């Protein structure tokens, strides 16, 4: 099982599933083949040419089901920037290197290695397990999770909880190993902004310059200081950190406290306020021509329960001359940190690492949990990894020289095995 998880991870990385790109089909076929060899019947479907997902169900001792979901696509990588080629899947220095090692082909390899080990040992999970290997998470999920929910809803019958990215990884803080387990994430509001004005010659006095109007609006948006909002998930995290660190955290100065706490502070620094970052601009075609329109894209994120406040603030800052439309608008899902299932997640980690201190956590970004929340499935970020202290987990996401320790993958397989097969306490 140990050797197989690293070899599967290497194989998956070698499939270039860059999004945007040619799609996930070859990687999906590889996954389907591994499942079939283990006696698990895969359902393979496409939402568009090459945009391929795989779903399978493993019967358990109880028909209520747990969804284990992850994505096959990855963000782009520039080989010239990497020490080892991002699609080599090379094992070097005890790590599997390549785009997707952490986000999230490493996690998929843990799931696949475990299922194949079950087949060899004749093990049956405690409850039905639905496996989903999905396309398009690194964009909007429209070709992956959202398509699966719309067109293949029956595949997820009986699922009450789900695990996926990102959580269950170790963070070394003052000699303690903290494992954040995600109980929610910020909502997504990707927006296209358009300013319309009067086209004309660049040498003439401006009448209604669309480029200038858009720049003024973006400047107001970028300069805005969003107020700190303490959501229940982050409040639970801070309480847990106080217990672990043996000190109080001033809830009236959370931004400053996040900086003071260093690595521990990164667990909530980006999760205490909404955000709206301009990311793309497009206008004009010639230096001496004032264009009639100008457009921009903004990556907006809002805290659970704060969507309306976010949108009202954005509209006020943009002003009446800017048209806003959504590229993607997805809610901020949350799951209870005081649930028996959350306790089981924590127990599985501590069983493999007695020094572990699991804590609830809210993700600053978004995952496919948003799509499954629409089916009433409570999503938890749980992709267990024990990392060496020198590895910056957050820096691995979409970063250069992404890699995952082989020992960390093997740890994750053992944790998942305990979670999915151990009897109720």
Concatenated DSSP letters for 360-380?
A: EEEESS--THHHHHTTTPEEE
Q: What is the pLDDT of residues 269-328, one digit of tens each?
A: 999 999 999 999 999 999 999 999 999 999 999 999 999 999 999 999 999 999 999 999
Average pLDDT, the chain: 95
Residue count of the chain, please give it. Answer: 425
pLDDT the model gives residue 425: 58
Measured distance CA(272)–CA(226) in Å, rounded: 9
Label residue 316 exposed, middle or buried (CB < 10 Å: 0-12, 13-18, 19+). exposed
Q: What is the pLDDT of residues 25-50, one digit of tens each?
A: 999 999 999 999 999 999 999 999 99
pLDDT the model gives residue 206: 82
- Residues in CB range of 320: below 8 A, 6 or more apart: none
Q: Is 259 helix (H, G, I), strand (E, B) or coil?
A: helix
74, 34, 75, 77: which is closest to 56 by C-alpha? Answer: 34
Q: What is the pLDDT of residues 76-89, one digit of tens each?
A: 999 999 999 999 99
Please determine, for residue 346, whether its predicted confidence score (pLDDT) is greater than 60.
yes
Measured distance CA(316)–CA(177) in Å, rounded: 43
The mean per-residue pLDDT over the stretch 115-125 comes to: 96
- Residues in CB range of 342: below 8 A, 6 or more apart: 181, 183, 335, 336, 360, 380
Please determine, for residue 2, whether its predicted confidence score (pLDDT) is greater than 60.
no
185 is catalytic: no
> Is 53:42 a contact under the CB 8 Å cutoff?
no
Please determine, for residue 424, whether its predicted confidence score (pLDDT) is greater than 90.
no
Please determine, for residue 118, whether its predicted confidence score (pLDDT) is greater than 70.
yes
- Among residues 4, 24, 103, 137, which one is catalytic? 137
Please determine, for residue 241, whether its predicted confidence score (pLDDT) is greater than 80.
yes
Indicate the pLDDT class of residue 391, thresholds 50, 70 and 90. confident
- β-bridge pairing 187-196 and 293-302: antiparallel
For the chain, what is the largest distance between any 2 Cα atoms, rounded to a whole number of angstroms?
79
- Among residues 24, 73, 165, 417, which one is catalytic? 73
331 is catalytic: no
Lowest mean pLDDT among 60-64, 120-124, 346-350: 60-64
């Amino acid at each position: 099982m140990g050797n197989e998880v690293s070899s599967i991870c290497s194989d998956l990385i070698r499939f270039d599933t860059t999004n945007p790109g040619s799609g996930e089909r070859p990687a999906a076929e590889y996954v389907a083949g591994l499942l079939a060899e283990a006696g698990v019947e895969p359902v393979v479907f496409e939402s568009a040419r090459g945009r391929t997902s795989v779903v399978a169900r493993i019967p358990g001792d109880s028909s209520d089901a747990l969804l284990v979901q992850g994505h096959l696509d990855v963000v782009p990588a520039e080989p010239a920037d990497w020490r080892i080629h991002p699609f080599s899947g090379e094992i070097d220095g005890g790590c599997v290197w390549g785009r997707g090692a952490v986000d999230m082909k490493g996690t998929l390899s843990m799931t696949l290695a475990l299922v194949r080990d079950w087949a060899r040992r004749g093990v049956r999970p405690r409850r039905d397990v639905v496996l989903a290997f999905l396309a398009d998470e690194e964009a909007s999920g429209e070709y992956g999770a959202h398509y699966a929910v719309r067109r293949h809803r029956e595949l997820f019958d009986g699922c009450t909880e789900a695990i996926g990215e990102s959580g269950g990884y170790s963070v070394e803080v003052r000699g303690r190993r903290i494992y954040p387990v995600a109980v929610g994430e910020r909502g997504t509001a990707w927006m296209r902004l358009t300013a319309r004005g009067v086209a004309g010659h660049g040498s003439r006095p401006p009448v209604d310059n669309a480029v200038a109007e858009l720049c003024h609006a973006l400047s107001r948006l970028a300069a805005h200081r969003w107020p700190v909002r303490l959501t229940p998930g982050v409040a639970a995290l801070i309480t847990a950190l106080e217990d672990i660190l043996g000190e109080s955290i001033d809830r009236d100065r959370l931004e400053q406290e996040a900086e003071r706490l260093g690595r521990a502070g990164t667990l909530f620094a980006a999760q205490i306020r909404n955000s709206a970052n301009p990311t793309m601009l497009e206008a004009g075609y010639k230096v001496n021509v004032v264009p009639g329109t100008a457009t921009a894209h903004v990556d907006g994120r809002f805290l659970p329960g704060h969507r309306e406040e976010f949108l009202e603030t954005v509209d006020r800052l943009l002003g009446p001359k800017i048209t806003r439309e959504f590229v993607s608008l997805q809610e901020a899902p949350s799951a209870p940190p005081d649930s028996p299932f959350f306790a089981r997640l924590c127990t599985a980690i501590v069983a493999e690492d007695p020094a572990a201190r699991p804590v609830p956590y809210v993700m600053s970004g978004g995952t496919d949990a948003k799509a499954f929340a629409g089916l009433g499935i409570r999503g938890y970020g749980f992709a267990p990894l024990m990392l060496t202290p020198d590895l910056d987990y957050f820096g691995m996401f979409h970063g250069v020289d992404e890699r995952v320790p082989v020992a960390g993958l093997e740890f994750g397989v053992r944790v998942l095995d305990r979670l999915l097969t151990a009897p109720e306490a």
